[in-house]
Structure 1
Amino acid sequence: MLFLVVALFLFGALLGTAAHVPVPVTVAAGVAIAAWLVFFFTKERRKAGRTTKGAGR
């Protein structure tokens, strides 16, 4: 997954909107998105661990 994130970041930096903003802004946005993904992943893993067997989602 990390490879995919890096590949999409590089592709966006070369061809997308990120090419029109300074590199520090792009990196800051990338870090913010990565932090949100980690937060979301952690929240979902905790929620999945709390479900009981046989309970619907």
Structure 2
Amino acid sequence: MILLSALVAMAVLIGTAAHTSLPVFLTASAAITAWLLAFGAREGITRLRRR
């Protein structure tokens, strides 16, 4: 069930990306990438401090 939900969510996101203009898509992609990098860095720092 989780795999099916993930596939449906991915299909919706890909379909949405296909219908937006390139500048909007690139801006959204950059924002998501920045958020994921910040989250990963924060988690990595937290993991290092716990040791």
Normalised by the size of structure 1, how large is the TM-score? 0.62
The match for 2:32 is: 33
- TM superposition outliers: structure 1 runs of 4+ over 6 Å: none
The match for 1:45 is: 44
**Bigger helix share:** 2
The alpha carbon displacement at 1:47 in A equals 0.2
Distance 1:23 1:37 in 2: 21
Q: Runs of 5+ in structure 1 lacking a partner? A: 1-7, 53-57
The alpha carbon displacement at 1:19 in A equals 1.1
The match for 1:4 is: none
Q: Which has the higher contact order (CA 8 A, sep 6+)?
A: 1
Q: Structure 2 counterpart of 1:17, which letter?
A: T
RMSD: 1.4
Equivalences, count? 39
Q: Runs of 5+ in structure 2 lacking a partner? A: 1-9
Distance 1:31 1:48 in 2: 26
* Larger Rg belongs to: 1
